[in-house]
């Protein structure tokens, strides 16, 4: 089966089929502390988690009601590892640590699912975009995940990375990723998905690559279709906010005329229906906005947050960032 046939963009077609994913029973004595509660007779998905972070893939499985047995997780950052352990109620001794030092031959081969969000910094628009030439040593980490996959031969492997990995700038790198997985015995299906299309009030585009072992791939897979967004930025906000998170009064005063202008022009264009001005009681309201130029310019009204970036913790800079305006409606 050649590359053209196995590495294909299949639009809205990728959904796990019950006939493909056939998880294993849990036999581990400590399984109770590290698996989602299962019904009597229900099978478990054996999961190996690489580049685990705080376990987003694991939380997704839990939210979907898919019981799983965590074989091990792999996270280099000690703080993320502690958070993972606390969130998923597993001992930190299950952390494989530095992926470059893993001896893949010590890992089991009866694994159903491997998840791996290999570092995005070499490909991100927020970084230097050095790709496989990354000067900080992150360029080869995909290949560390690959050797684990080659040895364990999971039924399914799912990767996540920034949308920019699929851009013309990195076409050779992305083609290499797909070809390596094909050579390892997998058919690969990929698509760029946006969180706002799945009932999350955040514009966050990520490429998802689902690799299905060729001997079990039936071709009956589809990416989930978008759903109607029922939430907005306000639904995630705390009712009381510490004063340190507010911008200075002089900047706020400069934004008020811009806010009025934006709200009026937005209503005239018919955009008001997309922006929920949430009432806080006593005439006080909140409106999501994006600010730039050190919080002196309102770029747009929004009920959907932009993707949070690593630099955002430094407070407002020249680039557009999320903010919320509180105002009194009279």
Top mean pLDDT of 80-84, 245-249, 256-260 is at: 80-84
Q: Are strands 68-74 and 321-328 parallel, antiparallel or unpaired?
A: unpaired
d(CA 68, CA 291): 42
d(CA 48, CA 148): 10
Q: Give catalytic residues, as residue numbers.
A: 120
Question: Greater confidence, 184 or 303?
Answer: 184
Residues 189-208: b if buried by 16+ CB within 10 A, e if exposed = bbbebbbbeeeebbebebbb
Average pLDDT rounded to a whole number, residues 166-194: 91
- Residues belonging to the chain: 330
- The pLDDT confidence band at residue 261, using thresholds 50, 70 and 90, is confident
pLDDT at 267 over 90: no
pLDDT in tens, 123-134: 454 555 545 554
pLDDT in tens, 76-119: 999 999 999 999 999 999 999 999 999 999 999 989 999 998 77
- The pLDDT confidence band at residue 313, using thresholds 50, 70 and 90, is low
pLDDT at 18 over 60: no
User: Which residues are bridge partners to 324 per DSSP?
Assistant: 288
d(CA 326, CA 288): 9
The pLDDT value given to residue 318: 77
Count CA atoms closer than 13 A to 61's CA, side-chain side. Answer: 25
The pLDDT value given to residue 216: 96
The pLDDT value given to residue 38: 57
Range in 63-72, 147-156, 305-314 with the lowest mean pLDDT: 305-314
Average pLDDT rounded to a whole number, residues 31-52: 71
- The pLDDT confidence band at residue 135, using thresholds 50, 70 and 90, is very low
The pLDDT value given to residue 248: 83
Share of the chain above pLDDT 70, in %: 72
Q: Are strands 284-292 and 278-281 parallel, antiparallel or unpaired?
A: antiparallel
Top mean pLDDT of 11-25, 34-48, 121-135, 165-179 is at: 165-179
Query: Tokens representing 289?
Result: 């906005």
């Amino acid at each position: 089966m050649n590359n053209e046939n196995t590495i294909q963009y299949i639009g809205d077609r990728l959904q796990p089929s019950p006939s493909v994913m056939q998880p294993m029973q849990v036999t581990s004595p400590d399984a109770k502390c590290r698996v989602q509660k299962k019904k009597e007779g229900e099978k478990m998905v054996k999961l190996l988690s690489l580049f685990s972070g705080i376990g987003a893939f694991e939380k997704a499985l839990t939210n979907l009601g898919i019981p799983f047995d965590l074989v091990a997780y792999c996270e280099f950052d000690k703080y993320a590892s502690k958070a993972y352990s606390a969130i998923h109620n597993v001992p930190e001794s299950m952390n494989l640590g530095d992926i470059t030092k893993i001896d893949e031959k010590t890992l089991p081969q009866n694994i159903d699912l491997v998840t791996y969000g290999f570092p995005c910094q070499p490909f991100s628009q927020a970084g230097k975009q050095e790709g496989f030439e990354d000067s900080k040593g992150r360029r080869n980490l995909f290949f560390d995940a690959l050797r684990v996959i080659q040895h364990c031969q999971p039924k399914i492997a799912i990767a996540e990375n920034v949308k920019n990995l699929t851009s013309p700038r990195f076409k050779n790198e992305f083609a290499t990723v797909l070809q390596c997985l094909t050579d390892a015995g997998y058919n690969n299906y990929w698509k760029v998905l946006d969180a706002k299309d799945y009932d999350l009030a955040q514009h966050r585009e990520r490429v998802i690559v689902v690799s299905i072992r060729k001997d079990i791939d039936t071709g009956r897979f589809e990416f989930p279709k978008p759903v109607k967004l029922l939430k907005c930025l306000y639904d995630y906000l705390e009712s009381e906010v510490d004063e340190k998170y507010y911008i200075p009064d002089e900047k706020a005063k400069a934004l008020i005329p811009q806010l009025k202008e934006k709200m009026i022009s937005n209503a005239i264009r018919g955009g008001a229906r997309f922006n929920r001005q949430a009432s806080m009681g006593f005439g006080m309201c909140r409106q999501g906005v994006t600010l730039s130029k050190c919080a002196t310019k309102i770029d747009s009204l929004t009920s959907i947050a932009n993707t949070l970036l690593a630099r955002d913790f430094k407070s407002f800079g020249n680039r557009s960032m999320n903010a919320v305006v509180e105002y009194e409606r009279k």
